Amino acid sequence: DAGITQSPRHKVTETGTPVTLRCHQTENHRYMYWYRQDPGHGLRLIHYSYGVKDTDKGEVSDGYSVSRSKTEDFLLTLESATSSQTSVYFCAISEATGSSYGYTFGSGTRLTVV
């Protein structure tokens, strides 16, 4: 969708290497989220951010870290990639929380760890 981009779109990396995925938004939305999508598991929340330098863990945060130094960028880092982290990663943004606001999703990053 316009306003949110993820990079790279595809990546193949080796086990044990660090990997950083980027989510960039031009909507000035406060809330940003990283999900992973796996068959049979739906979307699972990894980390989320409710403002610059304010982040929190989701349900599957082990092995991942995030940073948000600017409103528009939310980075997801796999500190030492493992094969279990092969997945499709989606970033989402939201204008507000605790209300009727839904998410806008990015196009996803397909990560393969070999």
Partner 1 sequence: AQSVSQHNHHVILSEAASLELGCNYSYGGTVNLFWYVQYPGQHLQLLLKYFSGDPLVKGIKGFEAEFIKSKFSFNLRKPSVQWSDTAEYFCAVRDDKIIFGKGTRLHILP
Residues near partner 1, by CB under 8 A: 1, 33, 35, 40-45, 48, 58, 90, 92, 97-103, 105-108
CB 42 to partner 1: min, Å: 4
CB 79 to partner 1: min, Å: 23
Q: Which is nearer to partner 1, 3 or 18 (CB)?
A: 3
Q: Which is nearer to partner 1, 33 or 64 (CB)?
A: 33
Per-residue burial over 30-63, b if 16 or more Cβ lie within 10 Å, else e, is bbbbbbbeeeeeeeebbbbbeeeeebeebebbee
- CA distance linking residue 63 with residue 51, whole number of Å: 22
CB 23 to partner 1: min, Å: 12
Close Cβ partners of 62 (under 8 Å, ≥ 6 residues apart): none
- CA distance linking residue 33 with residue 91, whole number of Å: 6
Q: Which is nearer to partner 1, 40 or 83 (CB)?
A: 40
Contact by Cβ (8 Å): 110, 38? no
CB 65 to partner 1: min, Å: 18
Q: Which is nearer to partner 1, 81 or 91 (CB)?
A: 91
